[in-house]
Chain A
């Protein structure tokens, strides 16, 4: 009765590179929400960075006829057809952290990368002034990382024209590559004041290089790992912007669950004739947290995961 799962009603969270730590708190949020409604959950996807494999795993999820799938589509367009097929066969689909906007998915839950970039830009200017040199590391080809970088650069160009971008290196989440690249940037730019890094893996390498060169560079990055967390506590990294993964999972579940239980809701629109799911939520911002020396202790994932089942 009401908003409760039938026995055996299952919700699946499907991702690529399933071993990546990013998914861990997302799935916890997903699971906690599911437990509250008496639903079963499964964490699925492909361990590889491979679109064909993710599609295969998504189609295999479909075979099991779950009530809904919270999906992180590795690429937008390839998933249009599989998503629509899943919805036609009675499985509701919500996307998170990456979207497939042309598909019929009912919702998209994500962090606002533009907001993150804007916040980071303002913070950098606040710390080093509005006419200084800065550099970025990047990971071309991964959309959210790209957005964090390009948005920050264009924001700077627009609002702080005296901020000079002096280095731009692709390090692809590899701490060793980041170590190398940062070392070179530091050599070429002795006046470098700030470094913006769109993910934490590269930040680990970058901070090692900065410490080794004994340079005074303000480091800011997105996401967080235990190591960068310690560097934040030690003051080596100024600040990290961490998407609220728990909320992402929690809201992801809610959106999927509500889509699957849309019979409780009769909105004032044309859903009955158009055939759309009445619970359409185009966009949910899960927000981000600002991690500094002061609040760093709350972001220890290993502490958080103690006593919790990762799968």
Chain B
């Protein structure tokens, strides 16, 4: 890292109608540093990045690149300036191969008339090799959301850039992939490339970044060297107060119950998982860990009949279920929060209130099936307040919310129906620390009141902090279970990657 400032932003503002997303912010990026951005959901981080990448135009303010004022009119222009960007929401072409997606910008800039698919795929395999094993010829539409995120990262790494922006790249990544990414980031930084890194995971910021800038409500608060401050300071600057406890109290030995809410036996799916058996007891929060592509999501989707042809036995509160569709599952009180929020979690173009009520619009309707707008809005308002949702108006489309706030809408939708059993797939992806703690508290309260809670998360500290018991999935099988003191990152990683054959580690 040097002290040369490559990018300097001063007094920049940006509004969306009445929403003032950025209010005169300043920001400074030095050559070769890894610079973290922290801030609550809706603080304006992504908006600032979109301005730097030329996707959005600021209302006022100045951008200096190498000390020269620039107007970045389009992503193409940003590219010419050497800006690379991994978006918070993946933006890939589903009908096109992984290799072509990775090299889309290169193809665009290339002078050559013809495509050379062979070298393209070779080079793509090289870039991907370090990250994950994906065939570069597959279409992106056939990839799971986490693999898509890796492709998105690979895409940015191939850019010959001077400034690399990573907007919550690890939200859907497990520890293993995240560590690889950090290694690459460090290598790039050493080569003199400046990296802006956005994350809500404090550990990542403190382990890997050089400096951190904090934003709150569209305003720039401060920039500090990470060596000089503590995570609590950052959270305090973000939220305006110290979050006393990140994770709620766990179940005590005494509270443990033998009552079984969910009993899964010998669940099989043709190609995706085998011999899955487990139990979810009353009052506990059960976690599901595993590497990317291990099959966690598929097991859960299989149980509630969203995907696959599943055989095996599923019993809820002692009653054996014969579910043939997700509707049956909902009718039994089992709901699933999707990991792919944009793809199948929310209705981007529809109002916030309409999104929250989507699972059961009958709840906000009268006896004749007429939706009562007031009832619908007060439902959204109440759940929104619980989750600390930031919005302009409940009639605004969800697309106008920040990524983390969209996630809160998706969660609010699930909570709106008072389910008996909730599967949450990456529930806090993109959610800020404050709201995360709130969500965890809500989950704990639900569990205590008898609702079955199963959490899939790629963030091991979260699983360890929240769950009473964690099952580990490897290659479509449950490879083990950890509880109590055994619940450590090492043990889980071990079960997820190599071990597993041995019985549960008690």
Q: Do chains A and B touch in the complex (CB under 8 A)?
A: no
Residues of A that sit less than 8 Å from B by CB: none
Residues of B that sit less than 8 Å from A by CB: none
